[in-house]
C-alpha cells in the first residue's frame, strides 16, 4: 500500500532516533557502511516467459495479465506503487479488458513476488526494466498502440523513463497520483538523518503506522491489502532513501517528457501533497498533458469507492486521447494550483 507521505514526511522522529543511534555507531566503528550500488546491465536477452519476464541479468519478474475476449485494441504496461505489486491493477485490468484493452502489470524488483522483496534495486534498474518490458510487448503485439500506466511510485518510474535520454515510443502514458516529492521540500534535519540512517542502519525499518494517513476511502480494500502477504508492511531505510531519490529524479525529468499524458489526482490525497503535484504540472509541457482532478478522490484513485469513474476516464483516454473524459473532472491546473509553486 502506498504510504509515501506518511513514511517519508511524518516519520521524522523515528528516523531521527535511528539516525542518532547510527551516528554513535559511526563514531565507534570509525567508518560508514558502503551504500548499495545499482547493478549494471546484464548479458542475457530479455524475454517474456509465460507468467514472468526474464530481464537481461536473469532476474524473473512476475507478470499479471488481463486479456480481452478478441484482438486487443491497445496494450497497457502497468507499474504499481510503493510497497504494492502488480495485482494493484486487478480492477483496472478487468475493466480495460472489457473495453478491448490488454493490460500487463509487473511486480517490480523488490516488491510483491519479485526477487529480494523489501530491498531497493535502484531507480535506474527499475526504469531499465520498464523500458525492456515495453520493448518485449511491442514485439509480442506489433502494430498495436502501447501505453504506459504508472500509479504513485510507478508513475515516478514512468516519468524518469519518458524524460530520459532515450525515451521509448509510446502512444501515451497515464500518471495516477504520481509520486513526486523533491528533497528540497524536506527539512535539512530529515534529509541528514535519512541519509545517515540509511548508510549506517540500512535494514532498520519504518512503518508509518498510527499517523492517521488515509490512502483511500475504500476501507474494505485497505483491510484486504493489510491481509495480503505480498503487500509490504514495513520499509527499510535504504529503500526509503532510494524512493526519495526516484521521486527527485521524476520531477527533474518532467520537462523533458514529450509523450501525451493523462494525469489523475484526488483532492483528498494525503500521500502526495498538492504542492508537489502542482510543482510537477508546472514542469510538464502543457501541450502534451491533460489533468483530471477528482473532487472526491484519494491517493489510491482507481481503487477508491468512486474508482469506477477514474477507470472509465482512463479507458476513454486510451481509446481517444482528444475526447472529453466521462467524469467531467478535467479542469485547468490553475483552478487548484493558483500560483506556480517555487522549486
Tens digit of each residue's pLDDT (9 = 90 or more) over 217-240: 999 999 999 999 999 988 888 888
Segment holding 251, helix H or strand E: helix 237-253
23 is a domain residue = no
99 is a domain residue = yes
Q: How many CB atoms lie within 10 A of CB 35?
A: 12
18 is a domain residue = no
Q: Are 302 and 217 in contact (CB under 8 A)?
A: no
User: How many distinct structural domains can be found in the chain?
Assistant: 1
Longest CA–CA separation in the chain, Å: 65
92 is a domain residue = yes
Beta strand 235-236 pairing with 205-206? antiparallel
- Strand order of the β-sheet with 52-54 is 47-49, 52-54, 60-66, 101-106, 74-79, 146-151, 172-176, 261-266, 289-294
The yes-or-no verdict on residue 342 having pLDDT over 70 is no
325 is a domain residue = yes
Tens digit of each residue's pLDDT (9 = 90 or more) over 138-151: 999 999 999 999 99
77 is a domain residue = yes
36 is a domain residue = no
Tens digit of each residue's pLDDT (9 = 90 or more) over 26-52: 322 333 333 444 555 567 899 999 899
Give the span between the Cα atoms of 306 and 115, in whole angstroms.
Answer: 34
Look up the CATH number of the domain holding residue 101: 3.40.50.1820
173 is a domain residue = yes
Among 131, 281, 304, 325, smallest CA distance to 221 is for 304
Tens digit of each residue's pLDDT (9 = 90 or more) over 260-287: 999 999 999 999 989 999 999 999 998 8
pLDDT band of residue 21 (cuts 50, 70, 90) is very low
- Mean pLDDT of all residues belonging to the chain: 85
Q: Report percent pLDDT > 70 for the chain.
A: 77
DSSP-derived 3-state class of residue 145 = coil
Tens digit of each residue's pLDDT (9 = 90 or more) over 156-199: 999 999 999 999 999 999 999 999 975 555 556 666 666 666 67
Residues spanned by the domain of 276: 43-187+222-235+246-335
DSSP-derived 3-state class of residue 12 = helix
Amino acid at each position: 500500500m502506498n504510504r509515501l507521505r506518511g513514511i517519508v514526511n511524518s516519520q521524522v522522529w523515528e528516523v531521527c532516533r535511528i539516525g542518532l543511534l547510527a551516528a554513535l555507531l559511526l563514531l565507534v566503528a570509525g567508518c560508514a557502511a558502503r551504500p548499495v550500488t545499482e547493478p549494471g546491465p546484464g548479458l542475457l536477452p530479455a524475454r517474456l516467459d509465460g507468467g514472468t519476464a526474464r530481464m537481461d541479468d536473469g532476474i524473473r519478474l512476475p507478470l499479471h495479465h488481463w486479456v480481452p475476449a478478441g484482438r486487443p485494441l491497445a496494450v497497457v504496461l502497468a507499474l504499481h506503487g510503493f510497497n504494492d505489486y502488480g495485482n494493484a491493477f486487478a480492477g483496472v485490468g478487468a475493466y480495460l479488458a472489457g473495453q478491448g484493452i490488454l493490460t500487463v502489470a509487473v511486480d517490480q524488483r523488490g516488491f510483491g513476488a519479485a526477487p529480494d522483496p523489501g530491498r531497493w534495486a535502484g531507480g535506474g534498474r527499475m526504469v531499465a526494466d520498464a523500458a525492456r518490458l515495453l520493448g518485449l510487448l511491442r514485439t509480442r503485439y506489433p502494430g498495436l498502440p502501447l501505453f504506459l500506466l504508472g500509479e504513485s511510485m510507478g508513475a515516478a518510474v514512468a516519468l524518469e523513463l519518458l524524460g530520459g535520454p532515450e525515451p521509448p515510443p509510446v502512444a501515451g502514458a497515464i500518471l495516477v497520483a504520481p509520486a513526486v516529492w523533491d528533497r528540497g521540500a524536506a527539512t535539512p534535519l530529515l534529509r541528514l538523518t535519512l541519509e545517515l540512517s540509511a548508510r549506517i542502519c540500512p535494514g532498520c525499518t519504518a512503518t508509518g503506522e498510527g499517523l492517521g494517513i488515509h490512502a483511500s476511502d475504500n476501507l474494505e480494500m485497505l483491510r484486504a491489502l493489510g491481509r495480503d502477504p505480498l503487500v509490504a508492511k514495513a520499509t527499510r531505510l535504504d529503500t526509503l532513501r532510494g524512493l526519495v531519490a526516484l521521486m527527485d529524479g521524476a520531477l527533474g525529468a518532467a520537462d523533458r517528457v514529450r509523450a501525451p499524458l493523462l494525469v489523475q489526482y484526488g483532492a483528498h490525497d494525503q500521500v502526495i501533497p498538492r504542492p508537489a503535484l502542482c510543482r510537477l504540472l508546472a514542469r510538464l509541457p502543457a501541450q502534451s498533458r491533460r489533468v483530471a482532478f477528482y473532487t472526491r478522490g484519494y491517493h489510491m484513485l482507481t481503487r477508491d469507492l468512486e474508482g469506477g469513474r477514474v477507470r472509465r476516464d482512463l479507458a476513454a483516454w486510451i481509446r481517444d486521447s482528444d475526447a472529453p473524459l466521462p467524469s467531467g473532472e478535467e479542469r485547468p491546473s490553475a483552478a487548484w494550483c493558483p500560483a506556480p509553486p517555487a522549486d
